[in-house]
A and B are shown apart, each in its own frame.
Chain A
Amino acid sequence: MIFNKTQLDNGLEIIAEINPSVHSVAVGFFVKAGSRDESQDVSGVSHFLEHMMFKGTEDLTAEDVNRIFDEVGANYNAATGEESTFYYAAVLPEYWRRTAELLAAILYPSLRNDDFEMEKQVILEEIGMYEDQPSFVLYDRLMQSHFAGHPLGQSILGSSDSVRRLTADQMRQYHHDHYRAGNIVLAVAGNTTWNEVEDFARTCCQHWPAGGTSRSAELPRPPSTRELLVRESAFQEQLMLMTPAPAADSPLRFAAELLTVVVGDDSGSRFYWKLVDSGLAEVAELSFQDYEDCGGFMTYLTCDPEQVGANLEHIREIFDDVNRHGVSEEELSRAKNKTAARIVLRSERPMERLSSLGGNWIYRKEYRSVTDDLQAIEQVTRDQIREVIDRYPLTQWTTTAIGPRTAW
């Protein structure tokens, strides 16, 4: 595997991990524009705009865009998050250039009024779909509560009201401000050559507007809250908890990741033995969410409504024990084995490499090979885990629940 990088005059960064032994090429544009970059009056615009990208350009209709992606057999999509929007496709090597050209073209769409109004209906349907799924409602509320007063708390989808109010002009302005080459990273992984990648970028992306945006340096100050959303007809109670954790650029991030495997992996973790194996909960997991300037340890619990109080008590006991005594050498070693196997298995597909490649670059401007990641995992010590816990103790700082419980 060979890594290459360069930057165009307009600020677009290009990175590629070339691997001739795989069968496909994955290509993606990571755009630094997500829900945290929205002002209140355009809540949901990043995600709505992601949909509008597939509605065509001056030269291509929406039908053309869908048709061409299907003609090359692309496995493609886009995703909007709090901090970025990601447009990607995995294709056979012979089609990668054509696919990349299409992706590059649609990043500067025509945003026609008719398409805007039609797609607004689809977005409202998407919001309706998630309203019926308790875990999505819960996640939105958790983020709002934990990051209250900070842009990270803003909903990715927006609300039905904010989307209805949004105008095509507001979207055009947002696109004009944020879709600038300095905000974008082009990443390629798989079976192609660096020459081809460079040539494509210089031919198709050179004319993009230069510049970029910056974010407020203000850090979130999560207020400790507990919130209950009542859904009387639900069978299960779902809870999400969040407590501060290291940021994406922290050297402690590998230790933070391993800590979550020890405490809350879906098998063999402390949560698993206490809550899932015993039948007290269906799901009990701890994950590490990292953002540009902060992070969160998120607990997700799904259980019988009657068990909520007892299960929260068990979680508190597990947290207290870890905060006091750390993790054992044996637990750490097992977590390393699991994580290393996962890294290797994931790395076999270019699409997975692409997301790792882009993630490392947008957050840390660094290239990490699979071997680099395996070494980093191997080198984590109990002392580093201790440091994570000392700086970011596990607590039930923000707690949100959805289900039939009306009190607890």
Chain B
Amino acid sequence: MGDIKLRVRNLDAWYGDNHVLKNINLDILSRAITAIIGPSGCGKTTLLRVINRLHETVPNARVRGEVILDGKNIYDPDVNPVEIRRKIGMIFQQPTVFPHLSIHDNVAIGLKLNGINDRELLDKIVRKSLREAGLWSEVEDRLWDRATDLSGGQKQRLAIARAIALEPEVLLMDEPTSALDPGATSRIEALMTNLKKDYTIIVVTHNIQFAARTADYIAFLFNGMLIEYGVAQEILERPKEKLTERYLLGEVDLERWL
């Protein structure tokens, strides 16, 4: 058991009048994979976006409560959200690479725009990040080609390389494999297991098999509320809550509950 990297305290979030997260309390452990599972619309993506303060960039979105990263509440007024997002990387559901940039520059852009211009240093970090993301051998001879020619799985690994180039402390992943085929999915899963040695990973998924294969801890969210949270194996094999059990068995009909 590692240390606690991130504490979520009494967290509420809204989109306009829509109360999407209700009093969430959650401790995320360092250098482990925590999966947030639950049916569509349960608020799991919002929870992820609250953690790197991306939620508030949407018009009419609101947050109340605390997210404490290494002892500091990131919602304190003296905290710059831009700094927070540099420490907390994010991977999106749809592999998002910048189509106007080369493979190399897609990885380097975060550093470049943050003021790092040393070519040698950039090349070194790009190479290291691509290796860590398991993409190096596939792109080493075409680093200056456009990134749009890559396959979906390669694009997602490029997005991971772009995020880890900034050496974040936490990686947020929003259904990172739901747009990928099984081969690409298993590569990402292996990569995640590898990455958790260095990073705290929080992954949102509605795929229980995916969570079972990758996660150390699982949080089950339903209708904006945290229903159950604990060690992955226990949640999957012996859930304490009836609702968790029914969700895992595929018995929960979201429409009827809302």
The judgment on whether A and B are partners is no
